[in-house]
Amino acid sequence: MPRTLLERSDAVHALAGVFRRRGFESSSLSVIQQEAGIGRGSLYHFFPDGKTDMARAVLDQVSDWFEDEVFAPLRSATDAADAVSAMTKAVSDYFVSRENVCLFAAMTLGEEKETFAGEVKTYFADWVDALAALLHRGGLDLEDAHENALDAVAVIQGGLIITRAYADETTFLGVMERVERRLLSQLS
């Protein structure tokens, strides 16, 4: 039986779980209703434009979390080494607690790729740019800082894929430890 939701944020949280498990294309309205436990009326009340509106709200929530917990701290940090360690911890905790799925990466896999292309590109560019700026402040020249930041984000994303394939979150934690070690070794 669908539960009563008082807040849109409750619905977004429930929808995020469905999209993590099923992806966008496999999340039909009936699957969303069943797995999120939200009635059709509530879904359309909170998301009048349907499933695309639901997915966009989930991506906005994830983006806001990363802005607050990862990107802004990277941009404002004065100690690059501490900021790298804080980033790897926050990212590890986030993805392990959310089924080792990056919803932004998942949105690049199917037909919805074009629908969410702007949001996906902005998310990854913000992460790479914030990390590159930190690495530059930590002593790397601009080109090396950008390359290291891009490689780190790519390794994290690849680590998520391998972790899901292996069904073993220690794989991801090991990847994150190596990302941290490599980034720290580049700082002066």
Helix (H/G/I), strand (E/B), else coil: 159: helix
How confident is the prediction along the chain (188 residues), in pLDDT tens digits per residue? 555 556 899 999 999 999 998 888 888 999 999 999 999 899 999 999 999 999 999 999 999 999 999 999 999 999 999 999 999 999 999 999 988 899 988 887 777 778 899 999 999 999 999 999 999 999 999 999 999 999 999 999 999 999 999 999 999 999 999 999 999 999 97
Homologous superfamily, domain 59-187: Tetracycline Repressor, domain 2 (1.10.357.10)
pTM: 0.91
Specify the residue for token string 């560019």: 125
Which tokens sit at 50? 């349907």
Task: Domain ranges for the chain, please list them.
Answer: 59-187
Structural Rg of the chain based on CA atoms: 18
